[in-house]
Chain A
């Protein structure tokens, strides 16, 4: 949505003497300002223009420029689904003021920018490394850092807190330091939580992440566009197809192509199937942590059924890499859509059984109700999106707010909770599974015909029968492989509604065959930074309940 004209008039009144530039490129509104003006602009956009979400802070490195770094802030308004990006250029060694006073959620995004690029933020409470280990030297996303230069880590950091990096337990107080993870069954992955306990109460807590930092963004810079797709699978590996779709959608928008209706329908089906299995893992694991093992075994039966559907489609179970830029990798086999419909029928009973097992269960309610409560304002402040935000009472779903692939033509509801506690999060997820089935059934019954991919020979590889059957196909294949898919020079931010919330990709192209910069906005990254606040003052047993309800997937958290 082009809002530059509107903003221009507004800025002329408010920022008449301030140097700024408004652009509308690739469908994104971009305001370029000097580093000192970033905070005034952010404040104005937040309080006067209603941009209530800070989606991410990202940076990019241009070693040949005198102003070496770009730092961008993505803002979103939940009132009218508008987006705007603030961009500023920084020299080596220059600093930016922190945006934490405006959005608490800026905290980790700024720390990450420091870790990856060495850009410091003045006034930030803890300008330390976030993703790489503490013995790491240099800043890996700078262009002069080699992608494969490993630096060994020999020790782990002792327990520390944000306000006390050199923590020593006080022998005069009855406070017990407790370390959970990074290898703990209740963390389902590689999360480390450090608590200070007063009896069973959590006095304060801190988290350490980066134990699964697999350098996704650096890998994306060193691989051609289509070869990045398998890496996106491994961001949120519980619902891999959604990441494929999110990434391909961003690249397709930069290329300016629209995929055929059949591909759109297939992507919707895959996304909704993934949403179901993602919620299954989250609910199943959360219940296991609270002692309900039956639920896990029960719902995993249905997860296996979805895997079977994926296997029929492409041969892989978990990491499917099903999409290609321009459409799908291949068409669905005969009868696949009927299988999906059959699964929907079975899944409906599955959800009802799960509902019977947990929703009215006394123990489940006692363990989850009023645990980890969060208000809507706080949730927005932290950058919550997805089921957790909706559980807090904000009806925001990008499938409704900025529909893509024809979600606007489908009939489905957005479940919303009231208190934002673990129980509401569970209820929202269960209802979302029901709505996803509703969506799949509508799409499957009306599956469009036609091709499953566009046939632009500069974007999509020809079919194998053409490659082996005629010279044009062979040359076409050869040219595309050698030259690579080359989007035009430019940058954009594109987002989809993934199972955990807004999955965004900030993509910068310099016209070459590899992305120049690809920054992922992982939904659970913004959510997890609020964790120490959330568990503070609660019981240590509730730490586990809250952790499970956040559905933290280390792959997308640490990338």
Chain B
């Protein structure tokens, strides 16, 4: 017996036991029971609205991820939002330069909770092979990142795997200490 049903059964006085049980039995044909955060997580993970932040080569591979062959829509994430206020998954695809750093912090701040970040590719993860005077050495120097996808650029399969990892994190309620106390300007 599911939890809600059990509690429903417990709250009914003993003389009404049989009728309550009948109610529960009947409800099984049209309802199911769960925890509130479970159902929220289920909804969240299957309708991620990504904001594609394509800056460089990875942005082109991300177009392939969205495109016909790999089709991110299969994972419920086809509603691409270019306004951060409507998105809950920031896909940082490409090199973030020093000049771009204040912009991406602003974009991240504009996103509403709950929000997740994927760093797609070597540059977004660590600066990649650009150990250079104008390149931010990983977007996690300025905003908290949940999943890093390696590759230069990663194959679309790897990006899909990254999205699935986010889905799993949402489903499992994985703690995210890197994000909890984040303030703009605190990293580097």
Interface residues of A (CB under 8 A from B): 131-133, 136, 140, 145-156, 182-185, 188-190, 210-215, 218-219, 230-231, 233-234, 237-238, 281, 296-297, 300-301, 303-304, 307, 317-319, 554-555
Contact = CB atoms under 8 A, between A and B. Distances in A.
Contacts of B130: 214-215, 219
B63 A211 contact: no
Main secondary structure of the interface of A (DSSP, over half): loop
A303 B188 CA distance: 38
Contacts of B101: 152-154
Contact of B103 (A145, A182, A230, A317): A182
B61 interface: yes
A156 B55 CA distance: 17
Nearest to A227: B129
B56 A150 contact: no
Contacts of B155: 317
B68 interface: yes
Interface string B57-74: 101110110011100000
Interface of B: 53-57, 59-61, 63-64, 67-69, 82, 94-95, 97-104, 106-107, 129-137, 152-153, 155, 185, 188
11 contacts: A133-B134, A145-B133, A148-B133, A150-B98, A154-B102, A183-B103, A212-B100, A215-B132, A296-B67, A300-B67, A304-B69
Main secondary structure of the interface of B (DSSP, over half): loop
A214 B136 CA distance: 9
A133 B99 contact: yes
A227 to B, nearest CB: 9
A183 B107 contact: yes
Contact of A318 (B69, B136, B153, B188): B153
Given A189-B59, A319-B152, A304 B131 contact: no
A219 B132 contact: yes
A219 B98 CA distance: 16
Given A297-B67, A301-B68, A319-B153, A214 B135 contact: yes
Contacts of B102: 153-156
Contact of B95 (A151, A212, A281, A304): A212
Contact of B64 (A136, A190, A300): A300
Contacts of A136: 98, 134
B153 A214 contact: no
A237 B57 contact: yes
A119 B64 CA distance: 42
Given A150-B135, A218-B133, A301-B69, A319 B57 contact: yes
A198 B53 CA distance: 30
Contacts of A296: 67
Contacts of B153: 318-319
Contacts of A185: 82
Contacts of A319: 57, 152-153
A150 B133 contact: yes
A213 B97 contact: yes
A212 B56 contact: yes
A554 B107 contact: no
A281 B107 CA distance: 26
B132 to A, nearest CB: 4
A230 B123 CA distance: 14
A319 B57 CA distance: 8
Given A182-B103, A215-B130, A237 B56 contact: yes
